């Protein structure tokens, strides 16, 4: 979640403006080159939308409608939209919404002979999906996992990145076949040390960091249906427990290494999906690539169990546009009509790039297993 304090305004001032009875949000569109360097501000964008979905390979996407004046190189230029919240003194608190690579759809002319394009935008994970190794790619034993991740990103052209350092090293060499995309390699390197999938932040910077379960995190915001609410009444709540495992077996099998097996069983009497309450065992078996040691594999099994149980409760929350959301935000939702009052992790959000638009949040309730 982005900090509310910005452009010289405090967090409380920005929050008050977001919750004001009458508020104004405008949008600005910057054109960047292929190094994310500012070129100019576009005045030809007439609308669009931004979507973020943690379940997708390319997590942040956008759509733009613009008048085509020939100034954009669709093969290399990028668009960075900003949400601009009007403050009481006439200034703006601005929030970046992402840096997007552009598709090149056909041009079309309307009745007034104005030429427009409907453009799809993709965050820079697309760079790593498109860039594939042309020889067998090997990372030697003894290499730090995080150094190996940085090397892959640098080979794909990234110079600015935020990868949390970790001292652990590969216990054995690891390689990938010709044609493997570099996003797969990065995530394969992060998984054994329990790092989250790589994501790209609002300014186009790759982020690699350890995974923390939502119950280990403090809520960063609260949505509630009070007199100051920005929540709309069409909140939906759903439960789906049918396919949730209650036993996880994670096995590392590699040449010249002893087999490492980690088993995690949910036998918690307070958990509705546990072996105790279901009266049967639903096993998920996973082959783990190159976990460095037993403790890392045990932690991986426990985190996998937690992640697989996050579908316990899902809520779709409509609000006014709140442009500070990022990747897997954790916040509190209070909605009295459905008896909801708990901490949730956000898995997806979206909103149109237009004043008065409505934002949709998909959140999952944290579960202790």
Q: Do 29 and 111 lie in a common domain?
A: yes
The model's pTM? 0.81
Which of 277, 308, 339 terminates a domain? The answer is 308
List, for residues 181-229, the tens digit of each pLDDT value: 999 999 999 999 999 999 999 999 999 999 988 888 999 999 999 888 9
- Last-in-domain residue among 147, 176, 203: 203
As given in the structure block, the two tokens for residue 199 are 């994501």
Within-domain flag for 354: yes
Q: Is the pLDDT of residue 369 over 60?
A: no
Tokens standing for 25? 């949000």
132 and 117 belong to one structural domain: no
- Tell me: do 133 and 184 sit in the same domain: yes
Q: pLDDT tier at 109 (50, 70, 90 boundaries)?
A: confident
322 and 358 together in one domain: yes
Q: How many domains does the chain have?
A: 4
Task: Please indicate, yes or no, whether residues 81 and 139 belong to a single structural domain of this protein.
Answer: no
Q: What is the extent of the structural domain holding 108?
A: 11-122
Same domain, 19 and 114: yes
Do 353 and 323 share a structural domain?
yes
Cβ atoms of 367 and 342 within 8 Å: the answer is no
Mean pLDDT along residues 75-90: 97
CATH number for position 219: 2.40.30.150
- The answer to whether residue 106 scores a pLDDT higher than 80 is no
Q: Classify residue 276: in a domain, yes or no.
A: yes
Same domain, 221 and 359: yes
Q: Is 3 within a domain?
A: no
- Can you tell me the distance from the alpha carbon of 88 to that of 184, in angstroms, rounded to the nearest whole number? 47
Exposed e or buried b per residue across 155-172, where buried means at least 16 C-beta atoms within 10 angstroms of its C-beta: ebebeeeebeebeebbbe
Q: Write the pLDDT tens digit of every residue in 51-68.
A: 999 999 999 999 999 988
- Whether residues 319 and 221 fall in one domain: yes
Instruction: Identify whether 76 is part of a domain.
Output: yes
Claim to verify: residue 144 and residue 109 sit in the same structural domain: no
Write the pLDDT tens digit of every residue in 298-309. 999 999 998 887
Decide if 97 is inside a domain. yes
Domain membership of residue 350 (yes or no) is yes
Q: Is residue 209 included in any domain, yes or no?
A: no
Among 122, 150, 175, which residue terminates a domain?
122
What is the pLDDT confidence band of residue 113, given thresholds at 50, 70 and 90? low
Q: What is the pLDDT, as a whole number, of residue 228?
A: 86
- Distances in Å between the alpha carbon of 146 and those of 26, 130, 291? 39, 22, 14
* pLDDT given for residue 97 in this prediction: 98
What per-residue confidence (pLDDT) applies to 310? Answer: 67
pLDDT higher than 70, residue 360: yes
Considering the chain, what is the average pLDDT of its residues? 93
Decide if 107 contacts 68 (C-beta within 8 A).
Answer: yes
Q: Are residues 58 and 90 in the same domain?
A: yes
Q: Within this chain, do residues 118 and 135 fall inside the same structural domain, yes or no?
A: no
pLDDT band at 111 (very low <50, low <70, confident <90, very high): low
Instruction: Note whether residue 1 is domain-resident.
Output: no
193-209 CB burial, b ≥16 within 10 A, e <16? bbbbbbbbbbebebbbe
Closest CA to 2 of 94, 85, 71, 79: 94
Report the CATH number at residue 53. Answer: 2.40.10
């Amino acid at each position: 979640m982005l900090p509310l304090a910005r452009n010289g305004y405090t967090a409380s001032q920005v929050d008050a403006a977001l919750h004001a009875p009458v508020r104004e949000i405008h949008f600005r569109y910057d054109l960047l080159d292929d190094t994310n360097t500012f070129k100019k501000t576009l005045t030809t964008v007439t609308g669009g939308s931004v979507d973020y979905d943690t379940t997708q390979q390319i997590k942040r996407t956008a759509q733009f409608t613009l008048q085509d004046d020939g100034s954009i190189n669709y093969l290399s230029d990028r668009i960075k939209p900003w949400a601009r919240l009007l403050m009481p003194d006439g200034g703006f608190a601005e929030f970046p919404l992402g840096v997007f690579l552009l598709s090149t759809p056909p041009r079309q002319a309307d009745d007034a002979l104005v030429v427009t394009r409907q453009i799809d935008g993709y965050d820079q994970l697309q760079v790593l999906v498109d860039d594939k190794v042309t020889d067998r790619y090997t990372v030697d034993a003894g290499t730090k996992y995080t150094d190996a991740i940085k090397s892959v990103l640098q080979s794909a052209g990234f110079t600015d990145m935020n990868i949390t350092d970790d001292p652990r090293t590969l216990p054995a060499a690891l390689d990938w076949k010709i044609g493997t995309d570099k996003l797969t390699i990065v995530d394969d390197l992060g998984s054994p040390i329990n790092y989250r999938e790589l994501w790209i932040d609002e300014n186009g910077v790759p982020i690699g960091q350890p995974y923390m379960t939502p119950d280990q995190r403090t809520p960063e915001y609260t949505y509630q249906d009070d007199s100051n609410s920005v929540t709309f009444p069409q909140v939906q709540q759903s439960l789906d427990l049918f396919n949730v495992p209650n036993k996880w077996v994670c096995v590392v099998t590699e040449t010249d290494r002893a087999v490492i097996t980690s088993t995690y069983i949910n036998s918690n009497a307070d958990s509705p999906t546990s072996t105790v309450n279901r009266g049967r065992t639903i096993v998920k078996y996973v082959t783990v690539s190159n976990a460095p040691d037993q403790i890392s594999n045990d932690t991986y099994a426990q985190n996998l169990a937690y992640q697989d149980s996050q579908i316990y409760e899902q809520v779709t929350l409509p609000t006014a546009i709140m442009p500070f959301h990022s990747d897997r935000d954790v916040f509190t939702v209070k909605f009295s009509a459905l008896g909801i009052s708990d901490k949730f992790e956000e898995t997806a959000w979206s909103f149109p790039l237009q004043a008065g638009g409505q934002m949709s949040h998909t959140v999952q309730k944290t579960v202790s297993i």
